Amino acid sequence: MSDSVGQRALDRALDEKDLLLVYQPIHVTTTRKVHSVEALLRQRRESGEIREASVITAAAELGPELYALDSWVVHQAYKDAAHWHSHGSTDVRLNVNLSPREFKNTKMLDRLRGLVTGCGIDSKKINLEITETSFIAKPDETMKCLQELKKLGLSIWLDDFGTGHSSITHLQKFPVDGLKIPKEFIEDAPADERSRAITRHLIEMAHDLGIKVTAEGVETEEQLQFLLDHDCDFIQGFLFSKPMPVKELGKFLAAH
């Protein structure tokens, strides 16, 4: 697909508000209690069908619209979370994904600060999910930025840990609170010895470093048992819950 096709889709999406967020719970492995909820971007097609918004996000990555898109996502997610917090689910945290490119933008901190204070959400209830790509271009500035975000009260989670440009030094140097083990490892555990070994040792390493672990893409009882056996803190996946629109999430949280 050419960039211009993506660009047009992005312009239209931002203009016509056919973007929406769905929310997928993250559960405490041992109790199934909802610990947090991750905001995921989706696009509503003309047919009414709701799909992944990958064309939109890919186009946004290339241009300045990224910041408008990320701001929209963060603002909407904060508003939704403030709503469920005011309806009693006060201990359910919010996970939002931030593009790695945000860390090259000098205005990012001010923007995030402004969004937090405007939405009536307690910043201590927010987990920012970032990928390690964020750390590569300007490690010193990224470090300062992460420290400022943490001063605001936000927690930092590494998304898709162990895929892409991963480096163990990121865990050594950066102030992260948790890591997410991607579904590529989880779907092959427990059958595949290598995926099992990697998953097991990622959990153990994280715990030795004093940080938490979420397993993504948990679909089967076998996977759950494996993760229970190895003390994985949190799990996310179709076995427990799917991404859902905010109204449905409200009912889901109320039923818990």
Task: Note the residues at the interface with Mn ion (CB under 5 A).
Answer: 97, 129, 159
Residue 100 binds to ligand G (criterion: CB under 6 A): no
Identify the residue among 65, 178, 217, 246 touching ligand G (CB under 6 A): 217
The distance of closest approach from Cβ of residue 236 to Mn ion in the complex, given in angstroms and rounded to an integer, is 9
The bridge status of strand 34-44 relative to strand 19-28 is antiparallel
The distance of closest approach from Cβ of residue 183 to ligand G in the complex, given in angstroms and rounded to an integer, is 6
Identify the residue among 40, 115, 128, 206 touching ligand G (CB under 6 A): 40
The distance of closest approach from Cβ of residue 214 to Mn ion in the complex, given in angstroms and rounded to an integer, is 9
Give residue number: closest CB to ligand G.
237
Q: Which is nearer to ligand G, 21 or 40 (CB)?
A: 40
Element at 144 (helix H, strand E): helix 139-152
How far apart, in whole angstroms, are the C-alpha atoms of residue 243 and residue 203?
25
How far apart, in whole angstroms, are the C-alpha atoms of residue 63 and residue 6?
11
How far apart, in whole angstroms, are the C-alpha atoms of residue 112 and residue 149?
9
User: Around Cβ 66, how many Cβ atoms within 10 Å?
Assistant: 18
Residue 238 binds to ligand G (criterion: CB under 6 A): yes
Q: Which is nearer to Mn ion, 129 or 132 (CB)?
A: 129
Written as one letter, the residue type at 182 is P
Q: Are 155 and 191 in contact (CB under 8 A)?
A: no
Q: Are 199 and 230 in contact (CB under 8 A)?
A: yes
From the list ligand G, Mn ion, none, partner contacted by residue 24 (C-beta under 5 to 8 A by kind): ligand G
Give the footprint of ligand G on residues 152-211 (CB under 6 A). 159-160, 183
The distance of closest approach from Cβ of residue 151 to ligand G in the complex, given in angstroms and rounded to an integer, is 25
Residues linked to residue 34 through DSSP beta bridges, in sequence order: 27
Q: How many residues bind ligand G (CB under 6 A)?
A: 13
Q: Are 61 and 6 in contact (CB under 8 A)?
A: no
* Burial per residue of 216-243, b for 16 or more beta-carbon CB atoms within 10 angstroms, e otherwise: bbbeeeebbebbeebebbbbbbebbbeb
Phi–psi pair at 11, nearest 5 degrees: -55, -45
Q: Which is nearer to ligand G, 130 or 218 (CB)?
A: 218
The distance of closest approach from Cβ of residue 129 to Mn ion in the complex, given in angstroms and rounded to an integer, is 4
Q: Which is nearer to ligand G, 119 or 218 (CB)?
A: 218
Residue 134 binds to ligand G (criterion: CB under 6 A): no
- Residues at the contact surface with ligand G, assessed by CB under 6 A: 24, 40, 159-160, 183, 216-219, 236-238, 243
